[in-house]
Amino acid sequence: MNNWLRENLWRHGVAIVVCLFSLFPLYLVILSSLKTSGSLQVGSFIPHEISLDNYRFLFHSPKTPYVLWFKNSLVIASTVAISSVVIGAASAFAFSRLKFRGKRLGIRLLLLVQMFPAVLALSAVYVIMERVYTFAPKIGLGSQGGLILVYLGGSMGVNIWLLKGFVDSIPVELDEAAKIDGASAVQTYWLIFIPLATPVLAVVCLLSFIGTFNEFILARLFLVEMNGRTIAVGLQQFIGGQYASNWGPFAAGSILASIPIVIIFLSLQRFIVNGLTAGSVKG
Q: Is the pLDDT confidence value at 62 over 90?
A: no
Higher-confidence residue of 280 and 238: namely: 238
pLDDT, position 38: 61
Q: Which pLDDT belongs to residue 276?
A: 54
Higher-confidence residue of 42 and 71: namely 71
Confidence at 279, pLDDT banded by 50, 70, 90: very low
Can you give the pLDDT at residue 7?
A: 75
Query: For residue 162, what pLDDT is reported?
Result: 81
Average pLDDT of the segment spanning 35-59:
74
Tens of pLDDT, residues 256-269: 998 888 888 888 77
Task: Please give the pLDDT value at position 79.
Answer: 94
Output the pLDDT for position 189.
Answer: 86
What pLDDT does 241 receive? 62
Fold of 64-278: MetI-like fold (1.10.3720)
Q: Across the chain, what does the average pLDDT equal?
A: 82
**pLDDT of the residue at 281:** 45
pLDDT greater at residue 47 or residue 143: 143
pLDDT band at 25 (very low <50, low <70, confident <90, very high): confident
Residue 54 pLDDT exceeds 60: yes
What value does the mean pLDDT take over residues 32-61? 75
Q: Is residue 283 predicted with pLDDT exceeding 50? A: no
pLDDT (mean) for 106-121: 78
pLDDT tens-digit map of 68-80: 999 999 999 999 9
Domain boundaries, the chain: 2-56, 64-278
Per-residue pLDDT for 124 more than 70?
yes
- pLDDT for the residue numbered 40: 64
For residue 41, the model assigns a pLDDT of 64
**Under 8 Å between Cβ of 93 and 191:** no
